[in-house]
């Protein structure tokens, strides 16, 4: 049995007030699932450059400052036929503007934590969003 390689990928969590930007995936195998904008890191590409590129490709928004949030392994035991990803999640300062879904994103919009509870979410999206929104609210107080 051959093991699939673990692929590098990025996600960008962008908080605006008490909401976080999510995209609804438009292609299998995660079609219909909501996640932070993101995708694979291309060969020779730096992590931060990939994060900026993916945010722009999927939402039309340009990331200003990016900060590392955490690294997540998806499908670490190769439990499914889906590839495994070493996913680095970054937070971005809000560049303003209206997100427009593009590339493999079917929708792009900001959601509150309450709204997110009714969405099919990828992995740790809810936990990361909650932490970032709470941190943003505390820094404003």
How far, in Å, CA of 34 to CA of 53, rounded? 19
Give catalytic residue positions. Answer: 107
Q: Which residues pair with 23 in a beta bridge?
A: 35, 108
- The per-residue pLDDT for range 22-49, each reduced to its tens digit, is 999 998 878 999 999 999 999 999 999 9
Q: Which residue has the tokens 């990928």?
A: 9
Beta strands in the chain (DSSP E): 6-16, 19-25, 34-35, 38-40, 66-74, 84-92, 105-112
Q: Which residues pair with 109 in a beta bridge?
A: 22
Which stretches of the chain are DSSP H helices?
Answer: 47-59, 113-116, 125-140
pLDDT at 64: 83
Specify the range with the lowest mean pLDDT, choosing from 72-76, 101-105, 126-130: 72-76
The answer as to CATH 3.40.228.10 being correct for domain 6-140 is no
pLDDT at 57: 97
How far, in Å, CA of 30 to CA of 18, rounded? 26
The backbone region for 25, taken as left when phi is positive above 0, alpha when psi lies in -120 to 50, beta otherwise, is beta
For residue 77, name the pLDDT band (cuts at 50, 70, 90): low
Specify the range with the lowest mean pLDDT, choosing from 14-28, 45-59, 79-93, 101-115: 79-93
């Amino acid at each position: 049995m051959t093991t699939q390689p673990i692929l590098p990928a990025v996600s960008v969590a962008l908080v605006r007030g008490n909401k976080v930007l999510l995209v609804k995936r438009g292609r299998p195998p995660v079609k219909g699932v909501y996640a932070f904008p993101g995708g694979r890191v291309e060969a020779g590409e730096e992590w931060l450059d990939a994060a900026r590129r993916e945010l722009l490709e999927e939402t039309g928004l340009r990331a200003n400052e990016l900060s590392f949030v955490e690294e997540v392994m998806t499908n670490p035991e190769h439990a499914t036929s889906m590839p495994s990803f070493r996913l680095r999640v970054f937070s971005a300062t809000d560049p303003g503007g209206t997100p427009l879904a593009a590339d493999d994103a079917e929708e792009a919009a900001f959601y509150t934590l309450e709204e997110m509870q009714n969405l099919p979410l990828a992995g740790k999206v809810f936990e990361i969003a909650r932490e970032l929104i709470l941190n943003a609210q505390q820094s404003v107080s």
